[in-house]
Amino acid sequence: MIYLDNAATTALSESARNAMEPYFSTQYGNPSSIYRFGQEARKAVEESRQSIAALLRVSPREIYFTGGGTESDNWALSSVVLERALKKEKSVHLITSTIEHPAVLRTCAFFESLGVKVSRIPVDQRGFLDLEALERALQEESSLQEESSLREREEHSFPSKSGEEAKKGASHCLVSVMAANNEIGTIENLKEIGHLAKKYGAVFHTDAVQAFGQIPLDIEEMQIDLLSASSHKIHGPKGVGLLYIRKGLKLSSFLHGGAQERGLRAGTENVPGIVGFAAAAKEAFSTMEERGRKKVALRDLFFKRLLEEIPGAKISGVNPAEAEGIGESPESPFLSSLHHRLPGNVHICLPGVEGESVLLLLDQKGICASSGSACASGSLEPSHVLLAIGKSHEEAYSGLRLSLEESLTEEELEYTVEAIKEAVEKLKQ
């Protein structure tokens, strides 16, 4: 089998498996119990929290364990909305992009159905957020909030606030933008997005599920308030993730019932999963640079061979003009255009065929790939990401995503290219 769907899930690493094993067999105590056996499990959870916090250069008290990235995204968005609602804020505004994961987009749609204002900022053909449109949305909201505050002060004879003070009080607004897109691999300019959010007093959340352990993330420099990550994308176990919550940011409890995770996320902690997550994260961060270089080389070779063998194929998230002369030199426009793309992401639109039909034929050849987000698998709708970057409906149905690991051999790569070529030719007959 050739496994090329690592953006969906990864194989459990040996280091994660070894770290988890005792907590399945001999050290199975409940971390909430006060006796020594339970406290040993509690110690393992807290040591894991410290380990991951150190990797992100944040305080352990800012790390909260969850059941995965989807839960973390839901918690981040839901808690901000609920917290503002409890404070009887007159308006809550969620700002996101058109290419987010369903965990964010569907949560936003749910709150929108309840009357919450939602703005979906467009992206360009590479998948980069329109920063000017983002600032306009933030400016509009800040102005509305300032006008509302002014009316209230006039009605109640309150002393006026300065513009800067008004901006600081606009925390009813949350910006949620994915660090790296799960389909086409675009790495967003989080530093600029974070700067804009901070400028207008908004809370900044990023879904970093695809980015965590794959590319550097500087929470302070990027001014991130909330960050979601998941274990099973970095060779850790399924069913565990985290939400980073910046100190001082007050969120409502997401799950009620117990005092776990400092009272914000009730339920007995998944001790083996948390320990495995920490072990996988430590390995991912320590090998990030080396793995990245290998995956970039494989990715670029994959693109080169696909374009050579499949006439009319188009790389998603790249200007077609930049793809000319691919691989001719390290300074080629094409290679430079991939600088802000996840190292192992290959996404291509295949002419005249449906991506899912290609997947079935690849499966017969022992190749695992995908046509987009695993959470949208089985959907009859075209990829919302491809539509958002300007692809036609036909192209959006034709997408194929290959997410590589550094262990892929060139022989396996060539076999896969040939299999894709054969599948396209067969489907066109």
Just list the catalytic residues.
375
Rounded alpha-carbon distances, angstroms, from residue 205 to 75, 274, 279, 409: 11, 22, 25, 37
SS3 114: coil
Tell me which DSSP letter residue 341 carries.
B
Q: Please provide the DSSP assignment of 183-194 as one string.
A: TT-BB--HHHHH
- Residues with Cβ within 8 Å of 136's Cβ and at least 6 positions away in sequence, in order, are none
- Alpha carbon distance 17, 237 (integer Å): 8
Rounded Cα gap, residues 174 and 170, in angstroms: 9
- Are 161 and 142 in contact by the 8 Å Cβ rule? The answer is no
Q: Are 184 and 316 in contact (CB under 8 A)?
A: yes
Residues, the chain, total? 429
Residues 142, 167: contact at Cβ < 8 Å?
yes
Asked if 306 and 358 touch (Cβ cutoff 8 Å), the reply is: no
CA 147 – CA 237 distance, rounded (Å): 49
Report how far residue 164's alpha carbon sits from residue 169's, in angstroms, rounded to the nearest whole number. 9
- Count CA atoms within 13 Å of residue 301 on its CB side: 16
